[in-house]
Chain A
Amino acid sequence: MNTFELLGAGLLTAFQWGNLLYALIGVTLGTAVGVLPGIGPALTVALLLPVTYRLDPAGSLIMFAGIYYGGMYGGSTTSILLNTPGESASIVTALEGNKMARKGRGGPALATAAIGSFIAGLVATLGLAFIAPSVVKFALSFGPSEYFALMLLAFMTVSAAFGESTLRGLTALFIGLALGLIGIDQLTGQTRLAMNTPNLFDGISVTTLAVALFAIGETIAVVASRTAMDDRIQAVKGSVWMSREDWARSWKSWLRGTAIGFPIGAMPAGGADVASFLSYSAEKQFSKHPEEFGQGAIEGVAGPEAANNASAAGTLVPLLTLGLPTTATAAIMLAGFQQFGLQPGPLLFVTNAPLVWGLIASLLVANLMLLVLNLPLIGLWVRLLMIPRPWLYAGILIFATLGTIGASASTFVVFGIPTSFELGLLLLFGLLGYLLRRFGYPIAPVVVGLILGPMAERSLRQALQIGQGDPTVLVDSWISVTLIGLAIAAVVVPMILRARGKGKMLAAMAGDED
């Protein structure tokens, strides 16, 4: 059988009524758990995976695919509506999405996220089916020096998320970088800045930091502010549905997001968060309305959400073709595959063809179900904002602490009282999140620093170690050179443009002000 026949057979199985129902249940469960603030996709998949164990192989595979896509997607809803991302990849979504929601445009924001996720999922899953081998070859050509160049590019473009002040953006970034230093240095096994506290040896968990800065910090900031307390959120202003202009502004972003997300997700050290950061800065570059960024630009939701989902499918490329789990979620997925007797590796497509195509068909169906489930629900989700504030925020804190304590049951004794260390960190960083907001510091760069800092340092040192200290290894491939060139251009080009167009820009801004 050729590829199309195999995929066709897989789709036929997946489209049986019973299997469609399993897909729906999987997507519903994945979305329902993933949507809770503070519970990211890795925990969602780990929690729900055992649910599939009791079904027949085809059904369980399909439900599993549904849980994966549902969990990946679920987080964006609360990021947009409540500014409480549960994981690092939906932080960027919260930047613009929440601004939109505050203007009563939560509906279009959710819609562009859902449709963008669907399109990205569709394109990327087809990519997984047809071009996985060549994508993998490209991804493998990334060694430590290429990753370092990629990280440089990410750092240079991350200023897109800085907001209005370079000083405060840089400060936030360096707070994140400093936090990223804490823990055991992976290359030498030395502990750094851990203050002799074993609980800090593994470093600060990105999830804890993100949940604290956003969910807890946001709650405190809202409760502390007189105006925010009085100001009634308008759940819906205008249509819940996307306008013609929204469509026109979204579709290119979806495709760009997919093009960025899929290959980066496929890289062994990539990941959805890096993809969403890069997509956000790309959208800001390409947008015809760059001045809207930070105020609720729809491109800033459409692009990163598409990138996020495309990279979720991209992650499956190395997972299936090499057996390489590249994210925490993927590692849990690998455990899931093994229970179906699927041993991911280079021979998987040869030895296990029907199962693999069954999985790919399941992913396509799950992706469709996600759209079917979520589009009609948008109206309902938006109503989340109508829950009276006391109940809404109290509920958010329940789930924020649940996700944190559930991932780590470690007990930390303070003055003879057994407590949870992670909850302590959550509180500490929650206060940090509040103070940052209070003094006009952007939040996202802190998390960006915590994620990219250690990755950049590690790749730099690995590259130098492989080259036995020779710094030219950093520029000895065309990929590194290109990426470094792009990174330099990202800094230099806007400077030139600014110098040339200063008069025009100022005039335009003056025009905007009145």
Chain B
Amino acid sequence: MRHYLLAALAAGSLLLAAPAFAADYTIMAPAAPGGGWDQTARTMQAALQDEGISSNVQVINVPGAGGTIGLAQFVNQSSGNPEALIVGGYVMVGAILTNASPVTLDQVTPIARLTGEYEAIVVPAGSDIQDMAGLVAKLKEDPGAVSWGGGSAGGTDHITAGLVAKAAGVDPTKVNYIAFSGGGEALAAILGNQVTVGISGYGEFAEQVKAGTLRVIGISSDEPVEGIDAPTFKDAGIDVSIQNWRMVAAAPDISAEQKAAITADIEKMVKSESWQKAVADKGWADTYLAGDAFDAQLKKDTAATAGILKEIGLVK
């Protein structure tokens, strides 16, 4: 009998669970429902409400053009509003450049980096490439013969491939990068031996690596990552480190006090049990970074990305 009641309650409570308070935070997810940024925004929503940091949090989805449509709308409509937040990520940095977006991340108030993922280069288990040195040797021989499978052109995977080639002394415009829609299709192409190497967030490959069908030959972190049996690019002599991060930012033109208040709320959320549990469940890595350190990191990423996108020829 209890099951019945619970079920009815679960279904009913959703319809009735409209608290009478005014909305506190409104988080914009510049992506369609279900995507990575949307999940980040909705996880924040749950954590902020569960921890009582904010009584009522709304999420709105404004998808399109790598998040730049949402960003433009956020900048135009939320100026000075201390209750407006936007979720974003490294992908946005590239999209702003490739789409020649009229608004940039300089126009919002970055609060903190929340989660991050490192890029990994993998080969099928049967490949004759054993390590980064083997890959570099092949690239130098004939860059076109090495096909790289990854996500959309101009995305994090493409940028990383370009950076790796450049650091290895190979012309980045010669990289034979095959863009697939999303990491999933790229993974299929790697497993099916359609491409030479695969490049994407490590999470896309983790289960395959565990099962032994793929081999990681390098990872884009600064320090070796526990549980990943591969050297960093840096240790393999390729001076590239990159993190595909997700962040939260506040509206333009808010006061220093307002910024401090939001930063405090976010910090409380990140430290909370419900956020930590959700992050662990979803297999995200908590790479929380706030304040000046995050601002500096953002500047560095933007500059490096602009440079490589020009060299690949995606940005004029």
Taking beta carbons and an 8 Å cutoff, which residues of A are in contact with B? 17-19, 21-22, 25, 29, 42-43, 46-47, 50-51, 54-55, 59, 63, 139-144, 184-189, 191, 198-199, 201-202, 268-269, 318, 322-326, 328, 331-332, 335, 338-339, 341, 343-348, 407-411, 458, 462, 465-466, 468
Contact = CB atoms under 8 A, between A and B. Distances in A.
Given A201-B68, A411-B73, 13 more contacts: A18-B7, A43-B33, A141-B192, A142-B192, A198-B64, A199-B69, A318-B188, A323-B187, A323-B204, A326-B185, A331-B35, A462-B179, A466-B195
B7 A22 contact: yes
Contacts, number: 181
A143 B193 CA distance: 8
Given A46-B33, A466-B178, A144 B70 contact: no
A332 B188 CA distance: 19
B153 interface: yes
A465 B207 contact: no
Contact of A189 (B11, B72, B187, B314): B314
Interface of B: 3-4, 6-7, 10-11, 13-14, 32-35, 39, 42, 60-66, 68-70, 72-73, 77, 98-99, 101, 144-145, 147, 152-154, 158, 176, 178-182, 184-185, 187-189, 191-192, 194-195, 204, 206-208, 210-211, 213, 281-283, 314
A46 B61 CA distance: 12
B34 A331 contact: yes
Nearest to A408: B63
A339 B278 CA distance: 8
Nearest to A326: B184
B211 A347 contact: yes
Contacts of A332: 33-34
B64 A408 contact: yes
A18 B4 contact: yes
A409 B60 contact: yes
A300 to B, nearest CB: 30
A54 to B, nearest CB: 5
A410 B188 contact: no
Contacts of B188: 139-140, 268-269, 318, 322, 324
Contacts of B11: 25, 29, 51
Contacts of A201: 64-66, 68-69, 99
A185 B314 CA distance: 12
A331 B204 CA distance: 12
B41 to A, nearest CB: 12
A424 B170 CA distance: 47
B154 A25 contact: no
Nearest to A335: B39
A348 B210 CA distance: 11
Given A407-B32, A407-B61, A198 B72 contact: yes
Nearest to A43: B33
A343 B178 contact: no
Contacts of B210: 345-347
9 contacts: A18-B4, A184-B99, A187-B178, A268-B188, A325-B182, A339-B281, A346-B213, A410-B63, A410-B70
A29 B7 CA distance: 12
A47 B152 CA distance: 27
A163 to B, nearest CB: 31
Specify which of B33, B61, B158 lies most central, judged by the most chain A CB atoms within 10 Å of its CB.
Answer: B33
A345 B211 contact: yes
Given A345-B210, A407-B32, A407-B33, A186 B153 contact: yes
B175 to A, nearest CB: 11
Contacts of B72: 198
A349 to B, nearest CB: 11
B282 A338 contact: yes
A467 to B, nearest CB: 9
Contacts of A144: 178, 189, 194
Nearest to A323: B207
B61 A408 contact: yes
Nearest to A20: B3
- 10 nearest interchain CB pairs? A345-B207, A18-B3, A189-B153, A268-B188, A346-B211, A201-B65, A143-B194, A332-B34, A189-B154, A140-B192
Contacts of B42: 50
B154 A198 contact: no
A269 B33 contact: no
A50 B210 CA distance: 30
Contacts of A187: 153, 178-179
Contacts of A458: 181
Contact of A202 (B14, B39, B63, B147): B63
Given A188-B153, A410-B62, A198 B69 contact: yes
B160 to A, nearest CB: 15
B72 to A, nearest CB: 7
A345 B13 CA distance: 34
B180 A322 contact: no
Contacts of A47: 33
Nearest to A55: B10
Contact of A268 (B60, B73, B185, B208): B185
A343 B62 contact: no
Contacts of A268: 184-185, 188
Contact of B68 (A18, A29, A139, A198): A198
Contacts of B152: 184, 186, 189
Contacts of B101: 198
A9 to B, nearest CB: 19
Given A59-B3, A326-B184, A465 B65 contact: no
B211 A21 contact: no
Nearest to B209: A345
Contact of B180 (A42, A185, A462, A468): A462
Nearest to B189: A143
Contacts of A345: 206-208, 210-211
A22 B314 CA distance: 51
A198 B178 contact: no
Nearest to A196: B100
Nearest to A47: B33
A18 B4 CA distance: 7
Contacts of A348: 207
Contacts of A18: 3-4, 7
A313 B316 CA distance: 45
Contacts of A328: 32, 34
Contacts of A468: 144-145, 176
A411 B3 contact: no
A112 B65 CA distance: 41
B7 A411 contact: no
B99 to A, nearest CB: 6
A411 B147 CA distance: 40
A55 B283 contact: no
A268 B204 CA distance: 14
A323 to B, nearest CB: 5
Contact of B176 (A189, A346, A465): A465
Nearest to A455: B181
A187 B153 CA distance: 5
A409 to B, nearest CB: 5
Contacts of B35: 331
Nearest to B38: A46
Nearest to B66: A201
A185 B63 CA distance: 17
A201 B69 CA distance: 9
B214 to A, nearest CB: 10
Specify which of B34, B152, B158, B281 lies most central, judged by the most chain A CB atoms within 10 Å of its CB.
Answer: B34
